[in-house]
């Protein structure tokens, strides 16, 4: 393993990180920044938006942004009003702020006390600004390589006249679910339009999300000197090989929690640089301590996904009828009508499950997944959650809600075979049946646990000092991050 490098020249390394300002992006970006700081002697300036800075100060206190020697936090204005400090992470609202970040980023970088050797970001306007300033710039794509490949292929679907769709809603109604696209190199057999990010499911040629996605993909193809993925070679091999033909240099450096564990010798837990925008409730770990091994279903939909009231109620009854204990992360903004999610839950459900449920707004997810009581993860398939579940060897019940989550779910269930797919307008019986399958002794459940053991082992190997991700990290440092553009 690399150790902190005191060699000549290392003190000149200065990376500026500016991740897209959502929880699922900030966390892995901070993990990568910590690795560069700890193991490769980088000074780091980690940039938040003002909105997130306020949020961190409110949820975690001033210590959250104190930094450590050689690692400092900065913030730039994003135009979101003060009163929004605890607002939901609305993706279109966040996307609408990114262009305005660029001039503030330029002033910040110009005023930094030491010269910058590289900028690491997934925001196109920041990459353009960095390149324009003559700085080395690199995309850090925080989701799977396979989903990035799907994003990249969207332009091809547009060029071929497949997207926009001929009629609004035709795909979700099932009419085009069978439009198989596995003729594309790198695509697994039988892949369908419904496995693509959901912005392709539009009939509107002027669809704002589609336009943003196409524009941003063009940026990541042409602007950075390299694309770093939060994945590992073995799990995303086909997609990485395919994209090597049309992207800048590619480096897969995950799973970052495992690499950080190697770097610190602590298993990645107990760090002073906080990666969670919300405060975790650690009391749920006490509750897990009182549960039998593999007896609890953990339910969380990440930081953005919302459910309808009907979906929430069906899920609740599915959990109740499965007769399993469950730990459910229910954010205040979990229901898409803006109401209080707890108020949606039927009193009979609350009465029936009071001895076997624990509901919280936010938990220490990695620790929950690693806990021996956790037997399954009902997840929206955000990429961090998928990787964390693989690292913990916990079977997934995949209920995707947006963006890359459909692709992640498809790969998790059909390619890596570590989960069971549920989702859409799922009913309580399906939720119950899926839980029983993965928690019980069903054949599918057994096969999923067997595959998980294999993938977990491969992830551990990738993150070892001689493993592919560790080697790739050293390569990107030596070949790109410390080299002038």
**Single residue of 50, 274, 366, 421 touching ligand UDX by CB under 6 A:** 366
Give the helix ranges, DSSP H, for 160-277: 208-222, 237-243, 256-264
362 touches ligand UDX by CB under 6 A: yes
Give the helix ranges, DSSP H, for 265-377: 283-289, 309-322, 341-344, 347-353, 365-370
H helix or E strand, kind and range, residue 17: strand 14-18
Task: Report which DSSP code applies to 86.
Answer: T
Query: To 10 degrees, the CA torsion angle through 455, 456, 461, 462?
Result: 70
Question: 445, 364, 325, 451: which is closest to 397 by C-alpha?
Answer: 445
**Single residue of 146, 243, 329, 344 touching ligand UDX by CB under 6 A:** 329
**160: which residues sit within 8 A by CB, 6+ positions away?**
none
Residue closer to ligand UDX by CB (options 225, 385) is 385
**Single residue of 304, 307, 398, 435 touching ligand UDX by CB under 6 A:** 304
Contact criterion met (CB below 8 Å) for 137 and 118: yes
d(CA 248, CA 265): 33
Q: Is 25 a catalytic residue?
A: yes
Q: How far is the CB of 283 from ligand UDX (least distance, A)?
A: 13
276 touches ligand UDX by CB under 6 A: yes
**Single residue of 19, 21, 24, 255 touching ligand UDX by CB under 6 A:** 24
191 touches ligand UDX by CB under 6 A: no
**Single residue of 46, 232, 383, 411 touching ligand UDX by CB under 6 A:** 383
Contact criterion met (CB below 8 Å) for 181 and 240: no
Q: How far is the CB of 217 from ligand UDX (least distance, A)?
A: 16
Contact criterion met (CB below 8 Å) for 157 and 171: no
Residue closer to ligand UDX by CB (options 124, 366) is 366
**Single residue of 41, 255, 302, 393 touching ligand UDX by CB under 6 A:** 302
Which among 103-111, 398-406, 423-431, 469-477 is the span making contact with ligand UDX, rule CB under 6 A?
398-406
Residue with tokens 């135009």: 79
263 touches ligand UDX by CB under 6 A: no
Residue closer to ligand UDX by CB (options 233, 274) is 274
Contact criterion met (CB below 8 Å) for 294 and 372: yes
94 touches ligand UDX by CB under 6 A: no
d(CA 403, CA 422): 16
Q: How far is the CB of 327 from ligand UDX (least distance, A)?
A: 9
Which among 8-16, 35-43, 351-359, 381-389 is the span making contact with ligand UDX, rule CB under 6 A?
381-389
**446: which residues sit within 8 A by CB, 6+ positions away?**
none
Residue closer to ligand UDX by CB (options 415, 474) is 415
In terms of Cβ atoms closer than 10 Å to its own Cβ (0-12, 13-18, 19+), residue 8 is exposed
Residue closer to ligand UDX by CB (options 116, 297) is 297
Which among 148-156, 377-385, 425-433, 445-453 is the span making contact with ligand UDX, rule CB under 6 A?
377-385
Residue 123's φ and ψ, nearest 5 degrees, are -105, 120
* 3-class SS of residue 87: coil
Residue closer to ligand UDX by CB (options 213, 403) is 403
Q: Is 177 a catalytic residue?
A: no
* Catalytic residue (choose from 78, 122, 195, 236): 122
Residue closer to ligand UDX by CB (options 109, 304) is 304
Sequential DSSP letters for 134-166: T--EEEEE-S-HHHHHHHHHHHHHHHTT-SS-S
Site string for ligand UDX, 118-147 (x = CB under 6 A): ------------------------xx----
405 touches ligand UDX by CB under 6 A: yes
Interacting residue ranges for ligand UDX, rule: CB under 6 A: 22-25, 27, 142-143, 276, 280, 300, 302-305, 329, 362-363, 365-366, 382-385, 388, 403-405
Catalytic residues: 25, 122
């Amino acid at each position: 393993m690399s150790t902190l490098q005191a060699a000549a020249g290392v003190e000149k390394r200065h990376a500026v990180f500016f991740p897209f300002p959502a929880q699922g992006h900030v966390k892995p970006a901070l993990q990568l920044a910590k690795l560069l700081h700890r193991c490769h002697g980088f000074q780091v300036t980690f940039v938040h938006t003002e909105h997130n800075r306020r949020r961190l100060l409110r949820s975690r206190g001033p210590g959250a942004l104190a930094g450590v020697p050689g690692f400092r936090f900065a913030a730039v204005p994003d135009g979101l009003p003060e009163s929004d400090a605890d607002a939901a992470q609305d993706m279109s609202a966040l996307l609408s702020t990114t262009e305005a970040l660029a001039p503030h980023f330029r002033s910040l970088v110009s005023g930094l006390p030491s010269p910058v050797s590289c900028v690491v970001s997934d925001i196109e306007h920041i990459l353009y600004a960095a390149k324009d300033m003559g700085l080395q710039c690199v995309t850090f794509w925080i989701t799977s390589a396979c989903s990035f490949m799907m994003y990249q292929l969207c332009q091809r679907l547009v060029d071929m006249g497949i997207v926009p769709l001929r009629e609004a809603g035709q795909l979700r109604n099932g009419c085009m679910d069978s439009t198989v696209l596995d003729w594309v190199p790198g695509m697994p057999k039988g892949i369908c339009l419904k496995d693509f990010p959901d912005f392709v499911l539009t009939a509107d040629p002027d669809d704002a999300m589609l336009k943003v996605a196409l524009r941003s993909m063009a940026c990541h193809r042409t602007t950075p000197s390299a694309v770093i993925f939060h994945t590992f070679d073995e799990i995303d091999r086909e997609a990485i090989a395919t994209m090597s033909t049309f992207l800048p240099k590619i480096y897969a450096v995950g799973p970052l929690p495992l690499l950080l564990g190697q770097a610190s010798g602590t298993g990645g837990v107990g760090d002073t640089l906080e990666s969670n925008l919300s405060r975790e409730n650690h009391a749920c770990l006490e509750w897990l301590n009182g549960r039998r091994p593999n007896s609890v279903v953990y339910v969380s939909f990440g930081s953005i996904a919302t459910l309808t009231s009907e979906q929430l109620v069906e899920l609740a009854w599915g959990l109740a009828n499965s007769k399993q204990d469950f730990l459910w992360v229910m954010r205040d903004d979990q229901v898409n009508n803006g109401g209080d999610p707890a108020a949606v839950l039927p009193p009979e459900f609350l009465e029936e499950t009071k001895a076997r449920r624990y509901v919280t707004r936010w938990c220490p997810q990695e620790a929950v997944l690693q806990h021996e009581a956790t037997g399954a993860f009902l997840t929206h398939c955000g990429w961090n959650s998928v990787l964390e579940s693989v690292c913990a060897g916990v079977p997934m019940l995949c209920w995707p809600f947006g963006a890359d989550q459909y692709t992640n779910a498809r790969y998790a269930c059909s390619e890596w075979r570590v989960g069971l797919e549920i989702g859409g307008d799922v009913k309580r019986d399906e939720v119950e049946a899926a839980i029983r399958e993965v928690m019980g002794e069903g054949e599918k459940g057994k096969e999923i646990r067997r595959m998980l053991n294999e993938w977990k082992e491969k992830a551990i190997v990738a993150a070892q000092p001689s493993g592919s991700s560790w080697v790739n990290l050293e390569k990107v440092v030596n070949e790109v991050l410390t080299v002038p553009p």
